[in-house]
Amino acid sequence: MRPAPTILHLDMDAFYASAEQAAKPSLRGKAVVVGGLGPRGVVATASYEARILGVHSAMPTAQARRLAPNAAYLVPRFQLYRSVSEQVMELLGRLSPLVEPLSLDEAFVDLEAGGAADDAASARSTGERLRTAIRAVTGLSGSVGLAGSKMLAKIASEQAKPDGLVLIEPGTERELLAPMPVRTLPGVGPATGDHLRRAGMTTVHDLAEAGEDELVRLVGKAHGHGLYRMALGLDDRPVVAERDAKSVSVEDTFDVDLHDRVRVRAEVERLAVRCVERLRAAHRSGRTVVLKVRRYDFSTLTRSETLRGPTDDPTVVREAAARLLEAVDTTGGVRLLGVGVTGLADFTQEDLFAQAADARELAERAREPEPERQAPESGTEGTGPAEEEPESAEQLAARRWPAGHDVHHAAHGHGWVQGSGVGRVTVRFEEPGGPVGRVRTFRIDDPELTPADPLPLVRDPVDYSSWPASLPKSRSGPGSAAGEESRP
């Protein structure tokens, strides 16, 4: 535990939805839901306007539509989100060499390691300047938590939402944590929380009072010991700059169960190729191939095969996944398929000439247009095609013109898809930072309308090449006075 609050946790506010609101002037201040739009789609992120109506992440999209029928429902644009995330992570990297990304929109930073802070005053100043820089560069807001440990810094950033900064003074941890519900602590999920509640423990104070022996009796030795330390506010985990991935995987959820065995095998082979693409992008290889099959009745089967040595050969992974599929009964239908590789290594034992040929194959596949996929049922970035039979014109239109995605018209310029149907696609022509645009409708096969790349959220971003020294030390703008505070 540190004597100064020099561990910073940044969490971007409603990241996907906020990025969409910044990119689309007509959606400012309105309920926005980003996720899968199919029958089995789930919500990836909801704007704060949608959250007020009860919509939240991981909720089925169908349920979200009942709660917020007038919200804008958009398909994720991961190209944009990754681009903004890279800008944010670059700013964090200028503060310290120890940055631990948790996702595209969340990270820990060790300010002391970078010389950016050594006490509460300098930590607060750095946090305020970081929020200013993020808004100047990306146009988005992020919430900052500062504390002497990772656990408390994350709790602080959650308290700071939205668009705020909370600093927890070292020495006040137990007083702060005592009245909080047990679910506040990392690793306490619904099942553990319910188990503790039945034992009469609903707050962190109850856990501290129960003692380590009682918690070990209730939840086991390893979990009980860690839970007691957290209840006392103790957390000595360091910020780790490089978190070593244990596996690489992809999975797709289908709007309609797959029954055709040939189609199921084709999907498994396609997933295997996508998995190898990610594996190679991470410059890794793996020794164990894993197949995941969720059947029509929600039963989930996992099969694995360990190879002679690490590989990043798409043919090897594809054939191994196909062999694993042969041992799975898919007669009743399949709603989800996944292929993964574990036992990762930094080298491969495959033939170099074969790898070169497969690299060409991957490159050719990458150049082929891939259909738009729904946001996943279980946290991956995409889901598979909807129907086994040939798709209708409406389904093809929805895939070609996903709601929320960018387009360009030869006469009207840049816009985004509001929706498609009955052989038509509706587009609103507007750009980030501009006025609310006009809406026009075109045939889905209009030759002058083409898909486009996302535009930057900020037209003329501040030059942060000398960050952090050149940026102002105070923040101005809506919410700043209420957002910057200390929690004793």
Residues designated catalytic: 106
Give the burial string for 203-218 (b: 16+ CB within 10 Å, else e).
Answer: bbbbbbebebeebbeb
> Which of 368, 365, 360, 318 is closest to 341 using CA atoms?
318
Rounded to whole angstroms, the Cα distance separating 254 from 264 reads 11
End-to-end CA distance of the chain: 16
3-state secondary structure of 357: helix
Number of H helices, E strands in the chain: 16, 18
Rounded to whole angstroms, the Cα distance separating 310 from 333 reads 32
Report which DSSP code applies to 27.
Answer: G
Q: What would the DSSP string read from start to end of 387-446?
A: -SSPPPHHHHHHHHS-TT-EEEETTTEEEEEEEEETTEEEEEE--TTSPPPEEEEEETT-
Rounded to whole angstroms, the Cα distance separating 29 from 46 reads 12
3-state secondary structure of 199: coil
Total number of residues shown for the chain: 488
Please give the helix or strand (H or E) that residue 109 lies within, else none: strand 106-110
Q: What would the DSSP string read from start to end of 282-335?
A: TT-EEEEEEEEEEETTS-EEEEEEEEEEEE--HHHHHHHHHHHHHTS--TT-EE
Rounded to whole angstroms, the Cα distance separating 317 from 279 reads 11
> Which of 214, 25, 10, 166 is closest to 485 using CA atoms?
166
* Tokens 């300098």, residue located: 122
The tokens for 68 are 């917020």
Backbone φ and ψ of 90, nearest 5°:
-65, -40
What is the spatial order of strands in the sheet that 449-451 belongs to?
Answer: 438-443, 424-429, 413-421, 406-409, 449-451
